[in-house]
Amino acid sequence: MKTISRRAALGLAAAMLMAGGAGAAQAASTVKVSLWDKGASAEMAMGLAYATPGLDIAKATMGIRALPGAVKAGDVTFNVKNDSKDTVHEMIVMYLADPGKPLPYLEAENRVDEDKAGDKGEVSELDPGKSGTLTVELKAGKYLLICNVPGHYGAGMWAEFTVEP
């Protein structure tokens, strides 16, 4: 009986160590992201893309809120919710190789060129009220969270995001 008890104790100890190690490995930073707009009946503002000269983001009819706005480098989990009542949105993480400069834009498609811009991952189109999650390893630097549904980025649907060393 002692042998069984000893094995059970060793098994329990091993399970606890593994669970503790898994918890440490999952110690990613978590960011709460809200995709919002003023409703489909609101006229979509234009000319509000990141780094636009004379930018007045207060005119935006849609946007992205990320809390916190800065995290430590490593695994970052984005919990994304589309808080719109009637519009599909998405969230894409873009690395800003040169902060302050505009992202490459496809005028004919009214959206950012994701391939050239440095797409690090995304939560694809979310229906109104729906949520999604993305975990991605990010190095220190400046990032932009954007919605790239045609017209949304130019309407101000982006947020700056910082990853610290």
Cα angle at 29 between 28 and 33, to 5 degrees?
125
State how far the alpha carbon of 18 is from the alpha carbons of 28, 44, 149, in Å: 17, 51, 42
Distances (CA, A) of 107 to 47, 123, 148: 12, 23, 13
Quickly count: other Cβ atoms within 10 Å of residue 85's Cβ. 12
d(Cα 118, Cα 96) in Å, to the nearest integer? 8
3-state class of 41 per DSSP?
A: coil
Tens-level pLDDT at each residue, the chain (165 residues): 444 445 544 444 444 444 444 444 446 899 999 999 999 899 888 899 999 988 999 999 999 999 999 999 999 999 999 999 999 999 999 999 999 899 999 999 999 999 899 899 999 999 999 999 999 999 999 999 999 999 999 999 999 999 999
Q: Which CATH architecture has domain 28-164?
A: Sandwich (2.60)
Distances (CA, A) of 23 to 17, 26, 144: 10, 5, 29
Q: How many CB atoms lie within 10 A of CB 110?
A: 16
